[in-house]
């Protein structure tokens, strides 16, 4: 029996056993490195346990490392995530608490993280980078149901107040009035039908009158157009007449300034000539010889001395 071979086998087996224990204690992979992120939820985390999976769009990228209540704000729960290094956690990445199937096992789902968003960094004074959160589906449904129930309660109260004793009496009175009006209308059905028939005839006659008036209105429109044209022509004639009057006025003004003085002088000379001709005519009638022999001196009267001409 080779004791050296047996000893070597035992040593190799022990080393392999120790290596397996160490591998299992480290999580199964010595090469995997994690980064820690903080998330703050304003809701209950019932069903979420330590080492619960953290998924990014459905892919496992880490686990829940710690769950603690915020003592300063009891309505908040602080979660620490151990996420594989290299996972694209960005400033617009959002964490949501979800449940898996009907078992109610909770996990954390990460979403968002557009390519243009910068990588998430820890704020000054903070130990871990903080991932933004939004309410889970259960919380949103609970809020919606609470709001709906509140509105239903207010609606129920309004209906109860509307169906009070006083309003019921008013409704009964209104229904009675409506029934009376319906009976009255039914009793006067024939009169209403006759009135509707007469109204239809009146509308028909009105339509006929309107059709007959259309040619008249068209002629009136043409007459109005002719009158308008006449007015335009009269306006143009007035303008031309005004221009003519202005020209005549200018001519009259020039006549009064230049011609009238000459005319007055000519009339004066004509008057003097007329007077001379009248005197000549009178002398010719008294002494026709004077026209041939000239004017004879008048003989001196008694007691007068002769005056030579």
CB 52 within 8 A of CB 63: yes
| pLDDT attached to residue 94 | 94
Name the more confident of 131 and 247: 131
The answer on pLDDT for 252 being more than 70 is no
The answer on pLDDT for 308 being more than 50 is no
Q: Which of 134-148, 180-194, 226-240 has the highest mean pLDDT?
A: 134-148
**33-47, 71-85, 89-103: lowest mean pLDDT where?**
89-103
Whole-model pTM?
Answer: 0.44
Q: Can you spell out the DSSP letters for 241-267?
A: HHHHHHHHHHHHHHIIIIIHHHHHHHH
The answer on pLDDT for 309 being more than 50 is no
The answer on pLDDT for 82 being more than 60 is yes
Mean pLDDT of 292-300: 55
Mean pLDDT, the chain, as a whole number? Answer: 78
Q: Which helix (H) or strand (E) holds 202?
A: helix 189-254
Cβ neighbours around 120 below 10 Å, total: 20
Q: Which of 4-18, 68-82, 152-166, 201-215 has the highest mean pLDDT?
A: 68-82
Mean pLDDT of 70-88: 92
Tokens of 255: 């006549």
Cβ neighbours around 258 below 10 Å, total: 10
Domain ranges, ordered by start, for the chain? 31-134, 136-187, 192-254
The answer on pLDDT for 112 being more than 90 is no
Name the more confident of 134 and 154: 134
Name the more confident of 223 and 67: 67
| pLDDT attached to residue 110 | 93
Helices 189-254, 165-187: crossing angle, 10 deg rounding: 80
Mean pLDDT of 291-299: 54
- Cα separation of 272 and 265, whole Å? 11
State pLDDT tens for residues 118-127.
999 999 988 9
| DSSP letter, residue 73 | S
| pLDDT attached to residue 170 | 79
CA 71, chain centre distance (Å): 53
Name the more confident of 59 and 283: 59
| pLDDT attached to residue 194 | 81
């Amino acid at each position: 029996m080779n004791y050296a071979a047996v000893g070597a086998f035992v040593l190799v087996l022990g080393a392999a056993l120790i290596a397996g224990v160490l591998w299992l204690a480290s999580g199964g992979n010595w090469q995997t490195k994690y980064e820690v992120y903080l998330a703050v939820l304003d809701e209950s985390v019932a069903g979420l346990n330590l080492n619960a999976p953290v998924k990014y769009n459905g892919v496992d990228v880490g686990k829940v490392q710690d769950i603690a209540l915020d003592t300063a704000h009891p309505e908040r729960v602080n979660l620490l995530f151990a996420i594989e290094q290299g996972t694209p956690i960005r400033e617009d990445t959002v964490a949501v608490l979800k449940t898996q199937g009907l078992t109610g096992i909770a996990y954390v789902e990460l979403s968002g993280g557009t390519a243009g968003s910068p990588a998430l960094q820890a704020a000054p004074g903070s130990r871990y980078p903080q991932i933004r959160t939004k309410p889970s589906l259960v919380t949103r449904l609970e809020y919606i149901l609470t709001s709906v129930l509140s509105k239903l309660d207010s609606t129920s109260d309004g209906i109860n107040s509307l169906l009070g004793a006083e309003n019921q009496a008013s409704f009964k009175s209104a229904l009675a009035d409506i029934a009376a009006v319906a009976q009255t209308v039914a009793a006067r059905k024939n009169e209403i039908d006759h009135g509707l028939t007469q109204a239809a005839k009146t509308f028909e006659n009105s339509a006929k009158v309107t059709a007959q008036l259309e040619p008249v209105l068209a002629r009136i429109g043409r007459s109005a157009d002719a009158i308008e044209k006449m007015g335009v022509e009269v306006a143009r004639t007035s303008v031309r007449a005004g221009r003519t009057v202005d020209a005549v006025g200018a001519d009259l003004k020039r006549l009064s300034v230049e011609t009238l003085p000459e005319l007055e002088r000519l009339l004066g000379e004509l008057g003097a000539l007329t007077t001379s001709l009248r005197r000549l005519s009178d002398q010719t009638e008294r002494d026709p010889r004077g026209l041939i022999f000239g004017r004879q001196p008048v003989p001196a009267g008694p007691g007068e001395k002769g005056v030579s001409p």
